[in-house]
Structure 1
Amino acid sequence: MAEFVLVAGAWLGARAWDEVVPELRAAGHRAHPLTLSGLAERQGVPAGQQTHVQDIVDEIEREDLRDVVLVGHSYSGIPVGQAAERIGDRLARVVFVDSNVPTDGGSFVSAWPSGRAMVEASIAEHGGFWPPLTAADYEGQGLTAEQIARIVDKSTPHPGATLTEPAVLTRPLGELPATYVKCLLDGDEPGDTVAGLLTSEHWRLVRMDTGHWPMFSQPRELARILLDAAGA
Structure 2
Amino acid sequence: MANFVLVAGAWLGAWAWDEVVAELRAAGHGAYPLTLSGLAEKRGAPAGQQAHVADVVAEVERLDLREVVLVGHSYSGIPVGQAAERIGGRLAGLVLVDANVPVAGESFADQLPEPAALRADLAAHGGWWPPLPPAEFAEQGLTVGQIARIAAGATPHPGPSLTEPAFLEGPLSGLPAVYVKCLMDWPEPPPVVVGLVADGHWRLVELDTGHWPMFSRPADLAGILGEAARTAKSGGRTARSGGRTAQSDR
TM-score for both structures, normalised by structure 1: 0.98
1:140 Cα shift? 0.9
- Which residue in 1 is equivalent to 2:189? 190
Q: How many residues align?
A: 231
- Paired amino acid for 1:177: P
Equivalent residue, structure 2, for 1:152: 151
Aligned residue for 1:9? Answer: 9
CA distance in 2, matches of 1:189, 1:47: 30
* Residues 68-107 of structure 1: pairs in structure 2 closer than 5 A: 68-107=68-107
Q: How does 1:83-232 map to 2 (within 5 A)?
A: 83-112=83-112, 114-232=113-231
Secondary structure of the 1:231 match is helix
Question: Where has structure 1 moved over 4 Å in runs of 4 or more?
Answer: none
Aligned letter for 1:198? V
CA displacement, residues 98-125 of structure 1 (integer Å, 9 cap, x when unaligned): 000000001101011x231221111000
C-alpha distance in structure 1 between counterparts of 2:166 and 2:196, whole Å: 17
CA contact (8 A) 1:20 1:219 kept: yes
Aligned CA RMSD, in angstroms, stands at 0.8
Residue pair 1:175, 1:200 contacting (<8 A) in 2 also: no
Q: Would the aligned equivalents of 2:53 and 2:82 in 1 still touch at CA under 8 Å?
A: yes
Separation (CA, whole Å) in 2 of partners of 1:185 and 1:46: 32
2:162 partner amino acid: L
SS of residue in 1 equivalent to 2:102 = coil
Q: Per the alignment, in what secondary structure is the counterpart of residue 222 of structure 2?
A: helix
Q: CA deviation at 1:189?
A: 1.3
Partner amino acid for 1:97?
V
2:9 is matched by which residue type in structure 1?
G
Gaps (5+ residues) in structure 2? 232-250
Cα contact 2:45–2:158 (8 A) shared by 1: no
Deviations 1:132-182 (A, max 9, x none): 000000001110100000100110000000000000000001111000000
2:109 aligned counterpart, secondary structure: coil
The secondary structure found in structure 1 opposite 2:198 is coil
Cα deviation for residue 186 of structure 1 reads 0.8
SS in 2 for 1:104: coil
| Superimposed CA distance per residue, residues 176-213 of structure 1 (whole angstroms, 9 cap, x where no aligned partner) | 10000000001111121111122343310000000000
| Mapped pair 1:65 → 2:62 | no
Q: Which amino acid aligns with 1:11?
A: W
Q: Distance in 2 between matches of 1:124 and 1:137?
A: 21
**Alignment-mate amino acid for residue 45 of structure 1:** A
Contact 1:84 1:91 in 2 (8 A): yes
What are the within-5 Å matches in structure 2 for residues 33-48 of structure 1? 33-48=33-48
One-letter amino acid of the structure 1 residue matched with residue 73 of structure 2 = H
| TM-score normalized by the length of structure 2 | 0.91
Partner of 2:247: none
Tell me, in whole angstroms, the C-alpha distance in 2 between the residues paired with 1:65 and 1:25: 15
Q: Could you tell me which amino acid in structure 1 is paired with residue 229 of structure 2? A: A
